[in-house]
Amino acid sequence: MQKTTMKNMKRHSSESSLRRVDSPVGAVTKLENVHRRRLKIRRMKYSCQAKIHVGNGSDDGDLKTENARREIHESVEISLSLATSSSSEEDDQLSKQNGEVKHYQQQQRPLSYGSVSTIGCRKEMEDAVSMEIGFTMKDGEKCDFFGVYDGHGGAQVAVSCRERLYRIVAEEVEMFWEDREWDWERVMEGCFGKMDREVAGDATVRTVGSTAVVAVVVKEEIVVANCGDSRAVLGRGGEVVELSSDHKPNRPDELMRIEEAGGRVINWNGHRVLGVLATSRSIGDQYLRPYVISKPEVTVTKRTNEDEFLILASDGLWGVMSSEIACQVVRKCFKGQIRRVCHGNENQSNRAAEAATLLSEIALAKGSRDNTSVIVVDLRGTLKSS
């Protein structure tokens, strides 16, 4: 009995050793899996390094917390398309994608920009972005349009804004640009109002809405119109210039306006209009009128040679990152201190695209669970001398 047991043990031992030796395919598969895991860890470390490099050089303790080291959740999806194009057909095709990079030739330095939209941990992508170069003419000069739209309740209104708002602005500019009493605030308020009325005509989206932050870059000015809690930020001479102010229900002037209209702001998982909507202005959301309005706040900023870049982003970014940190990230990208290769654009040097991609990745690493859309416009050297 003991001899039989010893024989069986030897037989099983020899068979297992043979299986280990005689399975080269399994060995190769194992090596490939190890390689994949190493790449995954490297990507996780890259996110951590990006967060560490963002600071002012001090040894900030919170960068060593669990959030700084943890891996991005597996359910996160990134919708990213980056390319360069010179033909009009390719431009038309790329403008329909979630993200893109284009170049076009000015008399000065070519304008470059990058955009990225990430779905995050949401089930549906409700953000939309719009980038229309030379969408209209004013004073004989081309105007460029950039917009970020953060939908809620569905993507319908955000998509409608992407398809229609820049056309409405173009029609208004072409119709009235010779008016001596030209007023960008009046023009943009009228365009947002028209966009809101178009959406209101669709009864199927009565409970759907979208924030909107748009920037029109003209010869000597940057015009920003904001309706909601998305944000536009200008990097200028090493400083941060916020070109919009978030419309939060607990902002003192917004709170007063809502209460004077007979509404209430309830702190229900954050301050919300009637306990429902976390922004006090939007396009759509007809069921929350008159407490939630579509009137934008408009700023007109004179361009200077110190202008570096423009950032437009939804609150998926601003909810976890300050304007100052975002500007530090973009500056480091522009200086080559942080490099991020964009998929499909490995052979192109577009720092704006790198910056937009990195901002979205840092937002994910910092725990943003919302859709996140970012546009970065490189303004260096694009101001035409008079």
* 68-108 residue pLDDT tens: 333 333 233 333 333 222 233 333 333 333 444 444 333 45
Whether 38 has a pLDDT exceeding 70, the answer reads no
Q: Cα–Cα distance between 241 and 299 in angstroms, integer? A: 12
Instruction: Say which residues have a Cβ less than 8 Å from residue 134's Cβ, sequence separation at least 6.
Output: 104, 142, 143, 144
Whether 348 has a pLDDT exceeding 50, the answer reads no
Ranked by mean pLDDT, the top range of 50-59, 78-87, 111-120, 224-233 is 224-233
Count the neighbouring beta carbons within 10 Å of the beta carbon of residue 324.
13
What pLDDT, on the 0 to 100 scale, is given for residue 175?
A: 87
Amino acid identity for residue 309 in this structure? F
Query: What band does 180 get if pLDDT is binned at 50, 70 and 90?
Result: low
Considering only CA atoms, which of 292, 295, 247, 245 is closest in space to residue 273? 292
What pLDDT, on the 0 to 100 scale, is given for residue 46?
A: 30
Instruction: Say which residues have a Cβ less than 8 Å from residue 186's Cβ, sequence separation at least 6.
Output: none
Whether 3 has a pLDDT exceeding 90, the answer reads no
Both ends of the chain: CA-CA distance in Å?
Answer: 103
Least confident window among 20-29, 108-117, 190-199, 225-234: 20-29
Least confident window among 45-54, 160-169, 218-227, 366-375: 45-54
Q: Cα–Cα distance between 251 and 282 in angstroms, integer? A: 15
What pLDDT, on the 0 to 100 scale, is given for residue 311?
A: 98
Amino acid identity for residue 336 in this structure? G
Task: Label residue 26 exposed, middle or buried (CB < 10 Å: 0-12, 13-18, 19+).
Answer: exposed
- Decide if domain 72-378 falls under CATH 3.60.40.10: yes
Count the neighbouring beta carbons within 10 Å of the beta carbon of residue 197.
11
What pLDDT, on the 0 to 100 scale, is given for residue 337?
A: 85
Whether 27 has a pLDDT exceeding 90, the answer reads no
Angle between helix 24-54 and 351-365 (nearest 10): 100
In terms of pTM, does the model score above 0.75? no
Least confident window among 15-24, 32-41, 109-118, 223-232: 15-24
Q: Cα–Cα distance between 310 and 188 in angstroms, integer? A: 19
* pLDDT 10s digits, 276-335: 999 999 999 999 999 999 999 999 999 999 999 999 999 999 999 999 999 999 999 999
Residue 3 to residues 7, 8, 9, Cα–Cα distance (Å): 6, 9, 10
Percent share of the chain, pLDDT over 90:
59
Whether 66 has a pLDDT exceeding 60, the answer reads no
Q: In which residue are the tokens 């209101």 written?
A: 200
What pLDDT, on the 0 to 100 scale, is given for residue 179?
A: 72
* Residue range 156-180: mean pLDDT, rounded: 91
* pLDDT 10s digits, 138-157: 888 899 999 999 999 999 99
* Six token digits for residue 337: 């201190």
Whether 215 has a pLDDT exceeding 70, the answer reads yes
What pLDDT, on the 0 to 100 scale, is given for residue 92?
A: 38
What pLDDT, on the 0 to 100 scale, is given for residue 340?
A: 63
What pLDDT, on the 0 to 100 scale, is given for residue 5?
A: 47
Q: In which residue are the tokens 């194992």 written?
A: 30
CA–CA–CA angle 151, 54, 379 (5° rounding): 65
Residue 31 to residues 36, 157, 170, 315, Cα–Cα distance (Å): 9, 49, 57, 42
Please provide the average confidence, as pLDDT, over all residues in the chain: 78
